[in-house]
């Protein structure tokens, strides 16, 4: 029963990121038409403080929807395993305000995620380098730290940042959101450095944030 409870907790933590992704899926066709129309006019839109071209918005949407499809397959399997649990066993988490430090030298690439979290009531501070990230962490109290992996300063900059953050705070949740190769091949090195979670999946990242929020 305890394992089933953990399973349901993990499913519940996916509730709000899945809802966000499902809404994108529902409105994907109208968005696609709008994007295609805007491409020809070279429109840009501002998302989470970044100016994005329609091509950039389209690519981020594609990544989110692709990730959603993979996660839905995993969830279907989990639901099948937990089919004997009653509906009353499920408790969905409620979003709460957080303050997150997100270190990424290409902030445009995370614009949709930042905007989603800010809509949820989360405050996001961004930094472009390890040095800037450490400076901000030392001057402000953060609930979560997120980093990419490779930056011009180092192809393992996310791990380098984790080592520095752990010297300042050994318990703050630290997530690395990176490409698939780094998530697979640098996982052990990242975990050994004190990283809480390393993933190439946006849905997994949002779920991890929800769990760190007490959900």
Q: What are phi and psi of 52, to 5 degrees?
A: -115, 140
Q: How far is it between the farthest Cα atoms of the chain?
A: 57
- How many angstroms separate the CA atoms of 206 and 172, rounded? 16
- Terminal Cα-to-Cα distance of the chain (whole angstroms): 19
Q: What is the pLDDT of residues 120-153, one digit of tens each?
A: 789 999 999 999 999 999 999 999 999 999 999 9
Q: Using alpha carbons, select from 100, 89, 83 the residue that is nearest to residue 174.
A: 100
Q: Which two tokens stand for residue 60?
A: 């981020």
Q: What is the mean pLDDT of residues 197-202?
A: 90
- Tracing tokens 């030392």 back to the chain, one arrives at 138
Q: What are phi and psi of 42, to 5 degrees?
A: 60, 40
Q: What is the pLDDT of residues 26-53, one digit of tens each?
A: 445 555 555 565 555 566 767 677 877 7
Q: Which two tokens stand for residue 204?
A: 């997994």
């Amino acid at each position: 029963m305890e394992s089933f409870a953990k399973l349901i907790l993990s499913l519940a933590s996916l509730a709000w990121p899945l809802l966000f992704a499902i809404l994108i899926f529902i409105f994907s066709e109208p968005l696609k038409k709008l994007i295609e129309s805007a491409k020809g006019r070279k429109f840009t839109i501002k998302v989470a403080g970044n100016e994005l071209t329609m091509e950039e918005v389209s690519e981020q949407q594609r990544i989110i929807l692709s990730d959603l499809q993979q996660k839905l397959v995993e969830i279907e399997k989990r639901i099948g395993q937990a089919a004997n649990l009653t509906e009353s066993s499920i408790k969905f988490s409620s979003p709460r305000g957080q303050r997150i430090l997100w270190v990424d030298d290409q902030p445009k690439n995370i614009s949709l995620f930042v905007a989603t979290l800010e809509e949820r009531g989360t405050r996001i501070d961004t930094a472009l380098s390890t040095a800037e990230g450490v400076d901000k962490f030392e001057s402000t109290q953060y609930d979560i730290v997120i980093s990419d992996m490779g930056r011009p300063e180092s192809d393992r900059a996310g791990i380098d940042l984790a080592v520095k953050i752990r010297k300042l705070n050994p318990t703050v949740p630290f997530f690395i959101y990176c490409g698939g190769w780094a998530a697979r091949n640098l996982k052990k090195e990242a975990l050994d450095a004190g990283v809480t979670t390393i993933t190439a999946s946006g849905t997994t990242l949002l779920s991890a944030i929800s769990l760190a929020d007490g959900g």
